[in-house]
Amino acid sequence: MATIASPEVDIDHDIQGSPLELPDFSAESYKDAYSRINAIVIEGEKEAYDNYISIGNLIPENAAELKKLAVMEMKHMRGFTACGKNLGVKADMPFAKKFFSKLHGNFQEAFSKGNITTCLLIQAILIEAFAISAYNVYIRVADPFAKKITEGVVKDEYLHLNYGQEWLKANLDTCKEELIQANKENLPLIKSMLDQVATDAEILHMDKEELMEEFMIAYQDSLVEMGLDNRQIARMALAAVV
């Protein structure tokens, strides 16, 4: 039967080519895992709002643009809150706060020192690439209500990644050293956050390898766009495994 799906993008199969099976959204095990994942996303969006406002203080000439990005994050937060409510799930916010605490601490420290490069790497590159990977994978296995919301959200996340990428590209000569150092300190945190969320994500039918693959695509693409060469990108990506 003819479908309207684009032939190049096979969203109904996993990376091994097996058909994707939707989970039972009303199962207790699903709701239990969702209470943590939903909280992570809500907390992540909330902190993203705060972070873009903070970055606006460090780059006053871009404050209006950054405020717009921040407002989008607030909208995302509301959207994901509605997704939890729709499934009858109470988000486990204390869990999510702890989940982000190390990365949050590193952002706060960089902000207090006025380290724009580190702030942008943490929020606009690492967190956004993490969100893009999670949302792209989630869209394939989400309930219809959440799928629609997440599709709208992920489009914005590319704009956020792009903002950071373009600023870093324009300032690459002066920020490369700080970028590499900040990456060394923060990419391993992203990897460990992914490890922590993998079991719950699996219950939502989100595959860990697929999450890692999507993350690497978004992350490496942005480093290419910034103007880093293959060797520098390989070195930076390897910080996740050593």
Q: What residues make contact with Fe ion under the rule CB under 5 A?
A: 45, 48, 73, 76, 157, 160
Is 44 a residue that touches ligand PL3 (CB under 6 A)? yes
> Which region, judged by CB under 6 A, interacts with ligand PL3, from 7-15, 102-110, 128-136, 182-190?
128-136
Output 48 or 197, the one with its CB closest to Fe ion: 48
Residue whose C-alpha is closest to residue 35's, from 91, 88, 82: 91
If one asks whether residue 223 binds ligand PL3 (CB under 6 A), the answer comes out as: no
Amino acid at 34: Y
Q: Does 138 bind ligand PL3 (CB under 6 A)?
A: yes
Name the residue nearer to ligand PL3 (CB basis): 116 or 193. 193
Kindly tell me the burial class for residue 127, based on how many C-beta atoms sit within 10 Å of its own C-beta (0-12, 13-18, 19 or more): buried
Given ligand PL3, Fe ion, none, residue 201, with its beta carbon under 5 to 8 Å by kind, binds: ligand PL3
Task: Report yes or no: 149 and 79 within 8 Å, Cβ to Cβ.
Answer: yes
Q: Is 214 in the site for ligand PL3 (CB under 6 A)?
A: no
Nearer to Fe ion by Cβ, of 151 and 209: the residue is: 151
Are residues 150 and 136 in contact, defined by beta-carbon separation less than 8 angstroms?
A: no
- Closest Cα to residue 160, out of 39, 233, 70, 42? 70
Of the candidates 157, 179, 219, 240, which one interacts with ligand PL3 according to CB under 6 A? 157
The least distance separating ligand PL3 from the CB of residue 177, rounded to whole angstroms, comes to: 26
Q: Whose Cβ is closer to Fe ion: residue 31's or residue 160's?
A: 160
Q: Are 9 and 136 in contact (CB under 8 A)?
A: no
Answer yes or no: are the C-beta atoms of 55 and 66 closer than 8 Å.
Answer: yes
- Does 134 bind ligand PL3 (CB under 6 A)? Our answer is yes
Q: Which residues pair with 13 in a beta bridge?
A: 19
Tell me which DSSP letter residue 123 carries: I
Contact call for residue 92 and ligand PL3 (CB under 6 A): no
Rounded Cα distance between 107 and 25, Å, is 35
Q: How many residues bind ligand PL3 (CB under 6 A)?
A: 21
Binding ligand PL3 by CB under 6 A: which of 48, 103, 126, 218?
Answer: 48
Angle between helices 208-226 and 172-203 in degrees, nearest 10: 170
Q: Residue 132 binds what, of ligand PL3, Fe ion, none (CB under 5 to 8 Å, by partner type)?
A: none
Find the shortest distance in angstroms from Cβ 192 to ligand PL3: 13
- Identify which of 64, 83, 47, 37 has the alpha carbon closest to the alpha carbon of residue 196: 37
- The binding site for ligand PL3 (CB under 6 A) comprises 37-38, 40-41, 44-45, 48, 73, 76, 80, 83, 127-128, 130-131, 134, 138, 157, 160, 197, 201
